């Protein structure tokens, strides 16, 4: 099985931390060169059964100018080419305008979107369910997966769920 996965989320939610953990020492390609103007390969996760190419999609943020709108449109159109989109949020912070902006745009994409609730190590387990309900009321996410990218909690589950969509 092989496919393409895009990780999106506002700055500092833990996207790079997750990628580093997943790709780890098994880095096949780690390139700063743009593959296209929109997509940048961040790393490839390889097992005997699967190969998952992780793609960074720059420019997903609330635009400050009209030109910015165009760039965001272009970034989102790149989602047509991926098998799964991982939308990552920081569960330890309140949902903010940056998250909401991305959520609105994600409603228009065709690829399955997983909500990845990162930094579960920073919250009490009792806080988890209300947060899930909050996000679930906004978008019908294909999957909702709480993880800790830095501690590694549940990252294996995330990978095995992603593999089902390749």
What residues are designated binding site for GTP? 9-16, 56-60, 118-121
The listed partner (Mg ion, ligand GDP, none) that binds 57, CB under 5 to 8 Å by sort, is none
List binding-site positions. Answer: 9-16, 56-60, 118-121
Q: Is 40 an interacting residue with respect to ligand GDP (CB under 6 A)? A: no
Going residue by residue from 83 to 122, which x/- string records binding to ligand GDP, judged by CB under 6 A?
-----------------------------------xx-xx
For Mg ion, which is the closer residue by CB, 13 or 84? 13
Q: How far is the C-alpha of 92 from the C-alpha of 85, rounded, in Å?
A: 21
Q: In what order do the strands lie in the sheet with 84-90?
A: 40-46, 51-56, 2-8, 84-90, 113-118, 143-146
SS3 for 7-75 is EECCCCCCHHHHHHHHHHHHCCCCCCCCCCCCCEEEEEEECCCCEEEEEECCCCCCCCCHHHHHHHHHH
Q: Which of 3, 16, 150, 161 binds Mg ion (CB under 5 A)?
A: 16
Q: Is 150 an interacting residue with respect to Mg ion (CB under 5 A)? A: no
The residue count for binding Mg ion (CB under 5 A) is 2
Residues 2 and 50 sit within 8 Å (Cβ to Cβ):
yes
- In the complex, the residues that contact ligand GDP under the rule CB under 6 A are 9, 11-17, 118-119, 121-122, 148-151
- In the complex, the residues that contact Mg ion under the rule CB under 5 A are 15-16
């Amino acid at each position: 099985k092989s496919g393409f996965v895009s990780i999106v989320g506002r700055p500092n939610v833990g996207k790079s931390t997750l990628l580093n953990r997943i790709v780890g020492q098994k880095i096949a390609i780690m390139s700063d060169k743009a593959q296209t103007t929109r997509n940048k390969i961040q790393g490839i996760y390889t097992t005997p059964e699967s190969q998952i190419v992780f793609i960074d999609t720059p420019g997903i943020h609330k635009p400050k100018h009209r030109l910015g709108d165009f760039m965001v449109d272009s970034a989102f159109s790149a989602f047509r080419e991926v098998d799964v989109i991982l939308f990552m949020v920081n569960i330890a912070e309140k949902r903010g305008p940056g998250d909401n902006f991305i959520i609105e745009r994600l409603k228009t994409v065709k690829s399955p979107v997983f909500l990845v609730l990162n930094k579960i190590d920073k919250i009490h387990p009792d806080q988890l369910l209300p947060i899930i309900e909050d996000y679930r009321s906004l978008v019908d996410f294909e999957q909702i997966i709480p993880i800790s990218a830095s501690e590694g909690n549940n990252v294996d589950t995330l990978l095995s769920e992603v593999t089902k969509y390749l």
